[in-house]
Structure 1
């Protein structure tokens, strides 16, 4: 498994677009006037292009530093497409606020800059990390939520004190509108839940350095709020195993499998296979999962558990399925499985299906059903 850090593709792409626009503007200074947003003649296309243009190097650097700082936080914890959505929606909201404020002025320069868009990303990141402390001085740290409130207050005061559109200064109303839309999207995309899970997972990381009992208590607390969280389901099952409580371990494993899908469920089945804990799952559940993972090595492992384990109602079907799975790779084993199917289950529907499909051997005389 690779230990390389994930790459914030969307964040880097947005930074790249802003830098490319800055280079283009340096080569052709008229681009800001041509593709910035003019309140006196609003245009949807220029509302979009204005999100990547900047007035000067300081304006660009300030925005990109913030984007580089908070963009990956949102991208990794809220999915990449949500970062892009927040950036564009918040930026357009900022443009809309600028239009409302500036349309009645005698003169308003074109609006350029990603400040409204980045304000929305900051709002989203604030909900994800509102309890985290940021060092602001030696031995002094302030919570992210406090710093954000200070920033919002500064924008509000600036908006009330300065007719920024007329003066061509920082568009305070655009910042506030972008922040508000980012906040709304954060709630729509359930950022508080993501924050709760992140805090819970960080607690699990710490408890894993202590004891299985500590892990179990933390996992149970997370599952009380988030019953289908794969990480907590996994750590709870492992903790019961470490505490040598097989019945509770089996129940936790079943819940881990039942409550997850996709890769998390695959991880649960791999854990069962690696630790030979198939008895935690009922034969019928193993048969169902074997069908779901028939193109995967896990499907073969599930079938093996049914064939090699105690006799059960799914064993005949498992013999046929495993024989077909091994027909090309291990024909000798496949033949042996079909022979056992014929000898022990000649009256079973699985054997009749084997005959219809042209599998051999045929049932021997006196074979038991």
Structure 2
């Protein structure tokens, strides 16, 4: 019975639900006090803007920007994708490793976006959970690879199609921070190699 209960609890997406709730709460508060479609308002309240980071040393924006969104459709799209990808990755990795993967990927996305903007001297206000969500897709890709090409009904080919469609959406849609997506995807893939361990079952795991 104990083994069953432990496996049952691990399958619950507590962290995914918590992250979604945090994003919704932040969005609600920011909507009450201002316009989330206003880039200046977003930058003033924690979105990533290269000049504030480089000149002001406000590196905390790499973190806070992950929980901010430009308008209702932005947060709706991201939360649907987070719910879908998050529950699978959290079940595979466990709650703590999932949270580490999510945050690490999101920060990687923000950092890469920041570096590219500085290099091009083309600054823009960046915010959203999409870098971290791309990181979950990257983590899921490694999980599928580690499980010999299939995990929970997801195949290597399906992961490739998912990544291609997400990249295509980013490239074909204006106002999307594709460097943030790429940084998150790479970060999520790499950290999952370190953190993920394929589950091994033996007779002692089976209880009636």
Aligned-partner SS, 2:51: coil
What's the C-alpha RMSD, in Å, of the aligned pairs?
3.1
How far 1:105 sits from its partner (Å)? 5.2
Query: Which sections of structure 1, spanning at least 5 residues, go unmatched?
Result: 135-140, 198-228, 235-255, 257-263, 272-369
Deviation per CA, 1:292-326: give whole Å up to 9, x if none. xxxxxxxxxxxxxxxxxxxxxxxxxxxxxxxxxxx
Q: Give the TM-score normalised by the residue count of structure 2.
A: 0.77
Aligned match of 1:80 in 78, 82, 95?
95
Q: Is the 8 A contact 1:131 1:145 kept in 2?
A: no
Aligned match of 1:32 in 37, 42, 50?
42
Q: Is the 8 A contact 1:17 1:52 kept in 2?
A: yes
Moved over 6 A (4+): 2-5
Aligned pairs (5 A) from 1:139-154: 143-151=157-165, 154=168
How far 1:14 sits from its partner (Å)? 0.4
Q: Is the 8 A contact 1:126 1:144 kept in 2?
A: no
Q: Is the 8 A contact 1:8 1:76 kept in 2?
A: yes
Match of 1:48 in 2: 63
More contact order relative to length (CA 8 Å, sep ≥ 6): 2
In 2, Cα distance between equivalents of 1:27 and 1:149: 35
In 2, Cα distance between equivalents of 1:153 and 1:67: 16
In 2, Cα distance between equivalents of 1:90 and 1:61: 20
How far 1:28 sits from its partner (Å)? 1.9
Match of 1:187 in 2: 193
How far 1:144 sits from its partner (Å)? 2.2
Query: Which sections of structure 2, spanning at least 5 residues, go unmatched?
Result: 36-40
The answer to whether structure 1 residue 174 and structure 2 residue 180 are counterparts is yes
Q: Is the 8 A contact 1:131 1:143 kept in 2?
A: no
In 2, Cα distance between equivalents of 1:63 and 1:32: 17
Q: Give the TM-score normalised by the residue count of structure 1.
A: 0.45
Deviation per CA, 1:61-84: give whole Å up to 9, x if none. 111111100111111221111111
Which has more radius of gyration?
Answer: 1
Deviation per CA, 1:330-364: give whole Å up to 9, x if none. xxxxxxxxxxxxxxxxxxxxxxxxxxxxxxxxxxx
